[in-house]
């Protein structure tokens, strides 16, 4: 069995759209490379452009993207969405042809927690507004934690309460063919009919956050462990290690450098301790102890440039190599697709 993983939003905290200054810098860099190739090559302009683009893509993605957390997982029968940040909007737009063809779709939404950057895309998820009276029979199944002041679904629908949004959740329930909910708790094992078994573990983050382990029958193990903070980078949290053990793909929070986390003056001087996020040293140790095969860095800080994220990826890989590991390390970008 092969499973597809696609990243629709990879940032943490708030969306971080690319700015005009950054675009200008990227264009200048590309033109500089073009001029250098043109001076030494007899290739046609089109061939030079292709070569320059290939060179740039080898360095890093053109941009890692600015949407907040949203990851799609599909096994050919089931569709899962891990968190509903602003990346949920383009994901929803991509579904319309499939929904039109099949007269509906069923999606499992797994909510790690309900901080804004993990739920703010739901009101802008286009298929949510398709009317069952038109013959479109969509089913939305939400799984999320239950020990906040409110349940997960209360938080999700609450962000659409008047006057903060023009469509109330009650209208969505009237339009939609089927909406169902399920709370989760630490250690919950949830088998999906004709699909993977999901295991939930509570992570180290302010209030309540859950990581999830997908075990596909006869297939890979995929782990989503965003928003977790190490108490000691040398000693990964037991729940995190349990989730990540022997994972084929480990999607893991790596928002800060260790200097940012500690509040070093050269890194801004503001400590990020107790903010609930991780850094390369802790990620590398987790990957080594868990023996995860492919480590995907996720939940990039909104202030991190593309170059900064690329440096963090290289640093994480070096730490793993120095520890004797051979794991592949990728920094997630919008549009990244993995087939496992």
154-190 confidence digits (pLDDT tens) = 888 889 988 989 999 999 999 999 999 999 999 999 9
Tally of structural domains, the chain? 2
Residues paired with residue 135 on neighbouring β-strands, in sequence order: none
Shared domain for 54 and 77, answered yes or no, is no
User: Among 335, 220, 237, 339, which residue's Cα sits nearest to residue 285?
Assistant: 237
Query: pLDDT by residue (tens digit) across 239-257?
Result: 999 999 999 999 999 999 9
Shared domain for 26 and 131, answered yes or no, is no
In angstroms, the CA 131 to CA 297 distance is 38
Shared domain for 125 and 223, answered yes or no, is yes
Q: Which of 23-27, 60-64, 153-157 has the lowest mean pLDDT?
A: 153-157
Shared domain for 39 and 152, answered yes or no, is no
Shared domain for 221 and 265, answered yes or no, is yes
Residue 315 sits in which domain range?
A: 4-15+63-339
Q: Determine which helix (DSSP H) or strand (DSSP E) holds 94, and give its type and residue range.
A: helix 88-102
In angstroms, the CA 211 to CA 204 distance is 10
Shared domain for 165 and 49, answered yes or no, is no
Shared domain for 168 and 79, answered yes or no, is yes
In angstroms, the CA 247 to CA 243 distance is 8
In angstroms, the CA 269 to CA 125 distance is 38
Contact 340, 5 (CB under 8 A): yes
Shared domain for 121 and 154, answered yes or no, is yes
Q: Is the peptide bond before 84 cis (omega within 30 degrees of 0)?
A: no
pTM, entire model: 0.94
Shared domain for 127 and 243, answered yes or no, is yes
Shared domain for 225 and 150, answered yes or no, is yes
Q: What is the CATH number of the domain that holds 243?
A: 3.60.15.10
Query: pLDDT by residue (tens digit) across 255-297?
Result: 999 999 999 998 888 999 999 999 999 999 999 999 999 999 9
Which pLDDT band holds residue 152 (cuts at 50, 70, 90)?
confident
What pLDDT sits at residue 289?
Answer: 98
Shared domain for 46 and 187, answered yes or no, is no
Shared domain for 46 and 180, answered yes or no, is no
């Amino acid at each position: 069995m092969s499973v597809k993983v696609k990243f629709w939003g990879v940032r943490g905290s708030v969306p971080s759209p690319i700015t005009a200054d950054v675009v200008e810098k990227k264009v200048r860099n590309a033109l500089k490379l073009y001029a250098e190739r043109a001076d030494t090559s007899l290739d046609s302009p089109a061939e030079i452009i292709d070569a320059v683009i290939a060179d740039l893509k080898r360095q890093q993605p053109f941009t890692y993207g600015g949407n907040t957390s949203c990851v799609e997982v599909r096994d050919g029968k089931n569709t899962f969405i891990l968190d509903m940040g602003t990346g949920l909007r383009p994901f929803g737009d991509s579904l319309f042809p499939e929904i039109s063809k099949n007269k509906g779709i069923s999606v499992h939404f797994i909510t790690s927690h309900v901080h804004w950057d993990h739920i703010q895309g739901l009101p802008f998820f286009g298929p949510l507004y398709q009317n069952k009276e038109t013959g479109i029979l969509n089913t939305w199944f939400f799984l999320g934690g239950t020990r906040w002041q409110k349940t997960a679904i209360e938080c999700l629908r609450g962000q659409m309460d008047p006057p903060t949004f023009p469509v109330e959740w009650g209208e969505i329930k009237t339009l939609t063919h089927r909406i169902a909910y399920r709370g989760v708790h630490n250690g919950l094992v949830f088998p999906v009919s004709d699909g993977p078994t999901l295991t939930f573990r509570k992570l180290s983050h302010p209030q309540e956050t859950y990581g999830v382990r997908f075990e596909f029958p006869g297939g890979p193990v995929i782990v989503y462990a965003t928003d977790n903070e190490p108490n000691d980078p040398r000693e990964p949290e037991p729940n995190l290690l349990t989730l990540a053990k022997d994972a084929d793909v480990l999607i893991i929070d790596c928002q800060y450098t260790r200097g940012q986390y500690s509040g070093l003056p050269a890194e801004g001087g503001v400590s990020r301790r107790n903010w609930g996020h991780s850094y390369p040293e802790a990620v590398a140790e987790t990957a080594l102890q868990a023996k995860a095969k492919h480590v995907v860095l996720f939940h990039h800080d909104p202030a991190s440039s593309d170059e900064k994220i690329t440096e963090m990826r290289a640093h994480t890989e070096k730490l793993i190599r120095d520890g004797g590991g051979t794991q592949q390390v990728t920094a997630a970008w919008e549009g990244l697709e993995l087939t496992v």
